[in-house]
Amino acid sequence: MRDNSAVLRKAVLAALASLIVAALQAKAQYSYMTLEYPLPGNTQSFQGIDGTNIVGYYEDTDLHVHGFLYNGTSYTPLDDPSADGFSADLGTWATGISGGNITGYYSGNDLTATGFLYSGGAWTDLVEPQAGFGASQGTYPQGIAGSVVVGYYTDIGRNYHGFSYSGGGWTTLDHPLAASGPYGGTYAYGVSGSNIVGYYGDANGAKHGFIYSGGAWSTLDDPLGAGGTFAYGISGASIVGEYIDSQDLSHGFLYNGSAWTTVDGPAPGLYYPTGPYATAVSGSNILGNCAGAAPPDDGVFYYSHGFLYNGSAYQTLDEPLALFPAITSVTGVDSTNVLGFFQLGDYISSGFGGAPPTHGFLYNGRTWAALDAPNVAEYLGGNVPAGTFPQALWGSNIVGYYFQTNGVDTNLQASDFFDPYVFGACGFLFNGGNWTNLIAPSAGPGQSLVAGFAQGVQGTYAESISGAGIVGYYIDTNFLAHGFLYNAGNWTTLDDPFGAGGTFIYGIWCTNIVGAYIGSNGVEHGFLYSAGSWTTLDDPLAGSGPGQGTVARGICGTNIAGFYLDTNGVRHGFLYNGATWTTLDEPLAEQGGTYVLGISGAIIYGQFAYVAETGALRQPGFLAAPPPCLSICMSGGGLEISWPYTPLPWTLQVNPDLNTTNWASIAGVVEDGTVSSVTITPPAGSLFFRLSQQP
């Protein structure tokens, strides 16, 4: 038998040499990982079906619209080359499919909708001769059967007309009872043989479905459709669409020429336009869209999903790239978990505008779990606070705060704001599935919507936890912030002696506490409180004007992390080791800068901001850490490479020659929540290993 010991020794020595290189690199820089809570997009629509092929469109994280083709297994993008691929809410909408022909429309930078026919890899524009040009005008194909395309167009007077197109010829379709103007018009959506279906708006603004065949019009009104009927698709004798009932709830329907059947999708009973509706039919399969409550279910915000119904079972359809741009903030990290909160970006709401509610999450580097306090206040739009904000974890304990309804304001006048409730912040301790409220005795009870929230929200904000207790701050009835330490039922107020404008405690390690205070001139200063003494912490690059300064957010050993605002009002992260200040800027950060919100061991975490291509401000979370140390040993004739499990998913790579860039990823890594490892059979030559966040 061959003796591999010399080979193993050589491989081990080579690996150790590579570890030295990795260690030197780790000291030089942090590796940053962007973190965004994954959400299905609110703009995602499945529009056409032919056999097993489905077309539709979705809105990506930068709000660009893309068409897609789904064959039951994989999604293929469909982007008209003339579409505007950079501006928000513009792009390509795929709406119908028949064999190898796909139709839809796109918007260019002049905002005009232009129809298209895609066949055999070629894109052909479809422009109804009477269609107008400009915003909300143009040609909108919706369905196709063979070479016949149907849809609608808007003329220069903003009137809506149906059309049928075949072989270069255009036929206008105007229902005789259709009214002109934005609430009237005729909309053709589906075609099968000589039959065309759609809907029209009458002089009263009511919507009615129709079938048009051989020059004759027949109205289609679902008996339950007190709020209107919309026919969207047809295949043979089967017609599908949507009706609105007397409660303004949206439902899908199937009509076979004599009987109406409700098709409600996986999430029935939601208000128009968020409820289910059927868009197309092929054989016994009905395609449609419905809205499901955003995870977790907050009862207000709903995100669209496609569905396929075969007469007995529903299959949910989600385009994998239709992720929604949530605001994600990382607030706590331990050896295996990441804690934070996210805020839904754009949404379909049941009637209120403004920023939507916030939800907590727990992420182990591979999977996400939602975390919501049970008594969160209802969301009322605008700048009304709502949601759950986890802030720190220690062992099995999680602390944070949420906003709740604390009572009714009896002093409201009839002319006051629309809701009489008093809102306040409530701290919490979460452990083993149990939620415990934390309410500082001197905290204010909350305020009404009339008072507004410019000065903050009264209540208790739990920010961090250690063996010494829970720390945070509370806002009293005078809207002044005070730090606190809570331990075994006892509340201790901690106010920095220079904090005329308030004291905010954010972090604790053992008995050392960090945070920020606002001086009499409105400037923020970080502080360290230890053994009864207060030490001011001012980053030398921080500005010294009102609204500027230094905020210490977390502490681990002798290292303190946080952020400062420079003289231009831009935020930068920092790491302070007791002697040296190091600026930490997430490489992608632009406007708004970098918020370092804490430190755990070698991992620094927080949130940053940048401007997307659409001009929208994006705010994802981040984790930053040097690569963990690799260990290598002989194991059963093989070579075992391992490293501590971390919330950052690292990829193990190998290279036989450090003079090249031929790094290859190694598959088969096993993770047990403590250690990540893989065992390989070493070759005769040398091998070098590294950890990378690039697969």
- As a whole number of angstroms, the distance between CA 285 and CA 289 comes to 13
Token pair in block for residue 26: 């780790």
Predicted confidence at residue 5, as pLDDT, reads 38
- Asked if the bond preceding 38 is cis, omega within 30° of 0, the reply is no
**Strands 285-293 and 368-371, sheet pairing:** unpaired
- Kindly tell me if the per-residue pLDDT of 334 is higher than 90: no
pLDDT, tens digit (0-9, with 9 covering 90-100), for 48-59:
888 889 999 987
Q: Report yes or no: 327 and 342 within 8 Å, Cβ to Cβ.
A: yes
Question: HSE on the CB side for 520, CA within 13 Å?
Answer: 2
Which residues have C-beta within 8 Å of that of residue 511, sequence separation ≥ 6?
466, 468, 530, 531
- As a whole number of angstroms, the distance between CA 566 and CA 621 comes to 21
Tell me whether residue 367 is exposed, middle or buried, using C-beta atoms within 10 angstroms of its C-beta: 0 to 12, 13 to 18, 19 or more: exposed
Which residues have C-beta within 8 Å of that of residue 288, sequence separation ≥ 6?
46, 240, 252, 263, 265, 276, 277, 278, 279, 306, 307, 308, 309
**Strand, coil or helix: 539:** coil
Residue 281 pLDDT class (50, 70, 90 cuts): confident
Average pLDDT over every residue of 359-374:
81
**Strand, coil or helix: 555:** strand
Residue 322 pLDDT class (50, 70, 90 cuts): low
Average pLDDT, the chain: 82
Predicted confidence at residue 450, as pLDDT, reads 56
Give the chain's domains with CATH numbers.
Answer: 5-29+631-692 (2.60.40), 44-317 (2.120.10.70), 327-516+580-625 (no CATH), 517-579 (no CATH)
- Kindly tell me if the per-residue pLDDT of 202 is higher than 50: yes
- Kindly tell me if the per-residue pLDDT of 347 is higher than 80: no
Range in 68-77, 232-241, 289-298 the model is least confident about: 289-298
| Closest CA relative to residue 470, chosen from 430, 433, 525 | 430
Q: Report yes or no: 477 and 444 within 8 Å, Cβ to Cβ.
A: yes
- As a whole number of angstroms, the distance between CA 157 and CA 196 comes to 25
- Kindly tell me if the per-residue pLDDT of 350 is higher than 50: no
Predicted confidence at residue 357, as pLDDT, reads 66
Predicted confidence at residue 399, as pLDDT, reads 97
- As a whole number of angstroms, the distance between CA 672 and CA 675 comes to 6
- Kindly tell me if the per-residue pLDDT of 335 is higher than 90: no
| Closest CA relative to residue 176, chosen from 146, 138, 195, 202 | 202
Strand partners, 446: none
Predicted confidence at residue 112, as pLDDT, reads 92
| Closest CA relative to residue 384, chosen from 456, 319, 449, 339 | 449
Residue 225 pLDDT class (50, 70, 90 cuts): very high
Tell me whether residue 29 is exposed, middle or buried, using C-beta atoms within 10 angstroms of its C-beta: 0 to 12, 13 to 18, 19 or more: exposed
Predicted confidence at residue 230, as pLDDT, reads 96
What is the full DSSP assignment across 488-525? Answer: TTEEEEE--TT-TT-EEEEEEETTEEEEEEE-TTS-EE
Residue 419 pLDDT class (50, 70, 90 cuts): very low
Residue 353 pLDDT class (50, 70, 90 cuts): very low
Strand extents, DSSP E, 432-478: 434-438, 447-448, 459-466, 469-475
Using a pLDDT cut of 70, give the percent of the chain over it: 80
Average pLDDT over every residue of 58-80:
85
Q: Report yes or no: 109 and 64 within 8 Å, Cβ to Cβ.
A: no
Residue 452 pLDDT class (50, 70, 90 cuts): low
Strand partners, 197: 190, 211
Average pLDDT over every residue of 584-599:
88
- Kindly tell me if the per-residue pLDDT of 273 is higher than 50: no
Q: Is the pTM of this model over 0.85?
A: no
Residue 344 pLDDT class (50, 70, 90 cuts): low
Using a pLDDT cut of 90, give the percent of the chain over it: 46
Q: In this predicted model, which residue has the larger pLDDT, 336 or 418? A: 336
Residue 303 pLDDT class (50, 70, 90 cuts): low
- As a whole number of angstroms, the distance between CA 241 and CA 207 comes to 12
Q: Report yes or no: 481 and 494 within 8 Å, Cβ to Cβ.
A: no
Predicted confidence at residue 406, as pLDDT, reads 62
Range in 48-52, 388-392, 437-441, 514-518 the model is least confident about: 48-52
- Kindly tell me if the per-residue pLDDT of 326 is higher than 60: no
Query: What type of residue is 150?
Result: V
